[in-house]
Amino acid sequence: MDSRLIVGPIGSGKFTLCKAILGEIPFHQGEITLRTRALYENIIGLSSVNEDRYAEVVEATALAFDFKTLPQGDETNVGSDGISLSGGQRQRISLARALYLQANLLILDDVFSGLDADTEEQDFRKVFSPEELLKRRQATVLLYTHSVRHLQAEDYVITLGNGSVSEQGTFDALIAGDGYVHRLGLNGLSESETTSEELIIENNVQEYLSPVDKIKRAKLAVAPNLDASRQVGDGTVYKQYMKSMGWLLAGSAVFFAFLRGFFLHFSTIWLMYWVEDAQSQRPKHHSAYWAGIFALFQIGVLISLFLLGAPIWIVSIKRAGANLHMDILNTLV
């Protein structure tokens, strides 16, 4: 295995280089085939099924524990864009899909960004360390990452800066120089770093980041929390949409929805009263009375449904779409 790690600040060109190596710049034609129903299918993709290889990559990416906690294991539906999964789980599933392929060249872009320190350490050890998965396959790996804690374990390090290669070579050669790797302050540190040592490394990295890069890194740090809120439902999303369609219109929609629910469910209760009266020895009312009231309930359901649907489909969708688009445009500008 020939392992090469490519590092550099945010915006230095790592992702662009990754796409260029893959032949994705420029992109003129082609097709995309998606199979994103269950976790198992996400990992296998369009490749042939090999259960031993599948078990190997699941173990290497520490997904076995996650599968045990999910309701249907690796047959769990991932939802639209993996909405039912956390950011770290989506990241590891993507890595497992790449590892499942029997490829001689793997290009991995920041595969540790959504992982906690312990999971990152475990994945790196099982996938990239000597005598582990990729070493046994004798595959060449280009690993693009912001994480610098594993630099010493790589065969070759390439540093990007301002869209070009600023330095390259073995870790020992670069740490002895005066470039980016040397300024990280990694000399003498091993992979089994304490929390305080990792914090020192992070501070050294932050020192050379621009304000915009620091903001981007902060957004990446809170991404798992955003994923969690999306899974359980974020109330601010509904509040923002109701605000965009107008509070009066939103309030009326809620009222008519409640009114429809009342007519719909109370009609079943009315049927229960009707049956009890009809089965009694001395009915209090004629069947026409019960049937007439029941029909009024059904008419109420139809009217309230119309009053609920008409404002939403005719007015609110158009108004909310325009207001949300304007908010996005103002934010962008």
pLDDT reported for residue 191? 45
Task: Identify whether the C-beta of residue 73 lies closer than 8 Å to the C-beta of residue 67.
Answer: yes
Q: Would you say 107 and 135 are in contact if contact means Cβ atoms under 8 Å apart?
A: no
Chain centre distance of CA 20? 25
Whether residue 24 is found in the same domain as residue 96: yes
Q: Give 66-86 pLDDT, tens digit per residue.
A: 888 877 787 877 766 667 777
**Residue 230 domain-assigned?**
no
CA dist., res. 96 & res. 56, Å (int): 9
Cβ pair 163, 170 in contact under 8 A: no
Q: What is the extent of the structural domain holding 310? A: 237-331
* In a shared domain, residues 116 and 245: no
Residue 34's pLDDT is: 43
Looking at this protein, which amino acid is placed at residue 34?
Answer: L
Q: Is the pLDDT of residue 193 over 50?
A: no
Q: Range with the lowest mean pLDDT among 68-82, 98-112, 150-164, 176-190?
A: 176-190
Query: Side by side, which strands form the sheet with 140-144?
Result: 105-109, 140-144, 2-7, 156-161, 164-169
- Are 93 and 84 contacting, i.e. CB atoms less than 8 angstroms apart? no
221 pLDDT higher than 70 = no
Cis peptide before 311 (omega within 30 of 0): no
> Per the domain annotation, does 219 fall within a domain?
no
Q: Are residues 168 and 241 in the same domain?
A: no
- Assess contact for 174 and 159: CB atoms under 8 A: yes
- Measuring CA to CA, how many Å separate 46 from each of 32, 43, 98, 291, 316? 12, 9, 12, 59, 42
Q: Are 15 and 127 in the same domain? A: yes
Report CA Rg, the chain: 29
How large is the average pLDDT for residues 310-331? 84
Query: Which CATH number goes with the domain that contains 104?
Result: 3.40.50.300
Report if residue 13 sits inside a domain.
Answer: yes
Q: Is the pLDDT of residue 248 over 50?
A: yes
Q: What is the mean pLDDT of the chain?
A: 75
Whether residue 41 lies inside any domain: the answer is yes
Give me the mean pLDDT over the 94-115 stretch.
81
Of these ranges, 23-27, 185-189, 255-259, the one predicted with the greatest mean pLDDT is 255-259
Question: Are 121 and 247 part of one and the same domain?
Answer: no
Average pLDDT estimate for 113-120? 78
Structure tokens at 317: 């969708």
pLDDT value of residue 233 = 55
* Least confident stretch, 93-97, 138-142, 195-199, 258-262: 195-199
**Domain count of the fold of the chain:** 2
Does residue 314 carry a pLDDT above 60?
A: yes
Is 103 a domain residue?
A: yes
- CB under 8 Å to 96, separation ≥6 — which residues? 43, 57, 58, 60, 61, 63
Task: Mark whether 11 and 131 lie in a shared domain.
Answer: yes
Question: What local confidence, expressed as pLDDT, does residue 33 receive?
Answer: 46
Query: What local confidence, expressed as pLDDT, does residue 37 receive?
Result: 60
Question: Which tokens belong to 45?
Answer: 């993709």
Highest mean predicted confidence (pLDDT) among 162-166, 206-210, 232-236, 320-324: 320-324
Indicate whether 8 and 147 sit together in one domain.
yes
pLDDT, residue 288, reads: 87
| Domain final residue pick, 184, 199, 219 | 184
Q: Are residues 156 and 85 located together in one domain of the fold?
A: yes
The answer to whether residues 87 and 177 belong to one domain is yes
Q: Quick check: 202 pLDDT over 70?
A: no
- Shared domain for 161 and 251, answered yes or no, is no
The CA distances from residue 35 to 42, 47, 73, 89, 139, in Å, are: 7, 11, 18, 17, 26
pLDDT band at 215 (very low <50, low <70, confident <90, very high): low
Q: What is the pLDDT of residues 273-290, one digit of tens each?
A: 888 888 887 888 888 888
Residue 93 belongs to a domain: yes
What's the pLDDT score for residue 312?
79
- Residue carrying the six token digits 């994945």: 123
Cα torsion for 232, 83, 93, 95, to the nearest 10°? -110
* Lowest-confidence segment of 6-20, 52-66, 138-152, 204-218 by average pLDDT: 204-218
Q: What is the mean pLDDT of residues 51-57?
A: 86
Three-state secondary-structure class, residue 116: coil
Mean pLDDT of 16-40: 62
Assigned domain for 53 exists: yes
Measured torsion, CA atoms of residues 174, 181, 164, 22, in degrees rounded to the nearest 10:
90
**Considering 184, 200, 223, which residue would you say is the last residue of a domain?**
184
Same domain, 146 and 247: no
* Residue 33, number of CB atoms within 10 A of its CB: 6
* Residue 313 belongs to some domain of the structure: yes
Two structure tokens written together for 22 = 């893959």
